[in-house]
Amino acid sequence: MESDCLKEVISEILNVDINEISEETTFLSDLGADSLDVFQIIMGVEERLNIEIDPDEVEKIITVGEAVELIRKYTE
């Protein structure tokens, strides 16, 4: 659930094919996203899942998999 939601938001915000996004995909190198894009993506996930993630933790995210784990931490 968290993974699918995240991939949908990434696809919408960065205009990337959802099938090209995996847990190993990096935001910067693979997707060309900057830190502002990552925050925007996380905000989109927060809205959809009705959660609030600590911004300090968002800054440490490098891969989609790390973002999924962080989101899971806040949805449990």
Q: Any idea which residues carry the catalytic annotation?
A: 34
What is the spatial distance between Cα 56 and Cα 11, in angstroms, rounded to a whole number? 24
What is the spatial distance between Cα 4 and Cα 22, in angstroms, rounded to a whole number? 10
Query: Which neighbouring-strand residues pair with 2?
Result: none
Q: Checking phi first, is residue 21 left (phi over 0); if not, alpha (psi -120 to 50) or beta? A: beta
